Amino acid sequence: MLTHDVLELQRIDTLVDQLTHRRATLAERAAHRARAAELAAADSRAAAIAARIDELEAAIGELERQGADIATHRTRLEAQLRTVIAPREAEALMHELEALAARRDALDDVELGHLEEQAALDTEGGALTKARPALDAGATSAAAALVAVEAAIDDEIDGLRAARVEVVGRLDAAMLARYERLRTRLGGVAVGRLEGARCSGCHLDLSTAEAAAVRKAGPGQLSDCPQCGRLLVA
């Protein structure tokens, strides 16, 4: 019967819509994204740590090179100081030696800061390495859980779509086209039931005469809801 087939088609399409929405909003999907984000963040931080350690090692190497240059310059000045006689020249050399010592102290402070940062980064990188297996396992488990739930939903949807083909085969082209137009225009619900005097599609009341007309429709006849335009079945 036409009314039965149209109602069944609507039931199937509603279930497919609900399952499709559920598939898109699965808690397992959110969990998978969270685990994947955690893993990506850990990898990003590990890469940043490695890059910064490389920068620090290069900077420490440059500081040590500068320190060696200062030591060489200091040795030369000290040798000169032992040979000069003029007080003014000796004073100039002493000032230069003091400047070199201050520069050496400043370099040592910077190098110490770099070494401390490097040690902290090594500790953090070690912790990330230690935590990585658990993060991998969590991401893998979340992905497997998502795939399993998606597969179960897809099986349900496939079964409904197979049933839909059978129902569609019993409807004429004009009725099917009308049904599809209404579904598109009315948010996926093309068919409503008359519940008392109310359309289940738009939840608005029909007048007494309108409701009576729907109930008097002959077998296999479909009425239109005067409020929303949906196909209405008593």
Domain boundaries, the chain: 25-155, 173-233
What pLDDT does 22 receive? 97
Work out the widest C-alpha separation in the chain, in whole angstroms: 129
What pLDDT does 219 receive? 63
Q: How far apart are CA 76 and CA 45, in angstroms?
A: 46
Residue 213 tokens, joined = 């007309």
Quick check: pTM over 0.85?
no
Sheet bearing 223-224, strands edge to edge: 198-199, 191-195, 231-233, 223-224
Those residues of the chain that have pLDDT short of 70 are 1, 218-220
What is the CATH topology of the domain spanning 25-155?
Helix Hairpins (1.10.287)
SS3 assignment for 95-135 = HHHHHHHHHHHHHHHHHHHHHHHHHHHHHHHHHHHHHHHHH
